[in-house]
Amino acid sequence: MLERITSRYRKLVFFTWFLTLDLIMFGAFVRLTDSGLGCPDWPGCYGKITPIGASGHIEQALQAMPYGAVSFSKAWIEMIHRYVGSILGMLIIAIVYMAWRYRRQLGNTPRLAVVTLIAVCIQGAFGAWTVTHQLMPVVVTSHLLGGMILLALMTWLAAREKAHAAISAQAAHWLPWMAGGLILLFVQIALGGWVSTNYAALACMDFPTCHGAWIPPMDFEGGYSLIRALGMLPSGDMISQYALTAIHWVHRNFAFAVFAYLGILAWKMLAEPGLQGPAKLLLGLLLAQLLTGLTTIFFQWPLLIAVLHNGGAAGLVLASVTLLVRLSRAYRSKIPA
């Protein structure tokens, strides 16, 4: 009985973790195909459950603006994202139910599962605000960060259920360094989300310089003003190229700091057998992120590469959280009972 409960719970957690990762990738596809307003209301599509029921409204929107935000393909992309998000929410409710009911058999507190449920509810709210606030950059970026936080929580849940080689108590001294690295990574993801939501990926078309200069003319105040509409400044004027350049330049250069920090940390942790797997994954993903980031510039932001770049960021989160969970176990083993 105990083995069956544990097996079911683990399968549920790992499937939900996998679906969370897929949803983040698909969310990037929604954003990069400009499908966020494919259905300009929420939670339905023009008040209907599917775009099929809303076909008349979509056709009218297409006739009014043939190259606008609404089309049949964009409506389906947006609604599929919402459907999968709803399924994810129900799966997390099931995890909370099992974690609470079988907390003694599973041997873990249900608190983490409850926090994950709260996170997915907040994420759903930001999904709605993304539509109702017309892709306001600060809302869309917060929605992206929320997805990454949800992935981190699901990875934490999954990592608790996965066995690994023993980790020496001495390895615990890496714990605060890894926590700092995860914070840096989330800052970089926020900066990357700001680039994406402001369509600043091609603000600098050369590398390693930007517009032929190491420090080009930039408008940081305009670029990082948070409360404003898409493509606009708080004053109501159109956002300038100098502001977009500032957004791109900060993300690009902060990436080198994150790359160096996490790369050196992962390299040092390779000596520990219980950390080798996620450390190797972290190193590989850092290299992949560098490659996809440069390819995005040189090939002018192709859709597949841009989605992979977002997926790479999600991979860095799951590798970093896995390392953090394993290091926390090593840290607890140092504390006398």
Catalytic residues: 78
Count of residues in the chain: 337
Two tokens, residue 329:
């176990």
C-alpha to C-alpha distance for 101 and 103, rounded to whole angstroms: 6
| H/E element, 85 | helix 72-101
Query: What secondary structure letter does DSSP report for 232?
Result: B
Cα 318 to Cα 155: distance, rounded to the nearest angstrom: 6
Alpha helices in 161-240 (DSSP H): 175-197, 220-223
Q: How is residue 238 annotated by DSSP?
A: B
DSSP string for residues in 92-161 = HHHHHHHHHHTHHHHTS-THHHHHHHHHHHHHHHHHHHHHHTTS-HHHHHHHHHHHHHHHHHHHHHHHHT
* Residue 315 dihedral angles phi and psi, to the nearest 5°: -65, -40
CA atoms of 164 and 186, how far apart (whole Å):
26
From residue 33, alpha-carbon distances to 6, 76, 296 in Å are 40, 12, 15
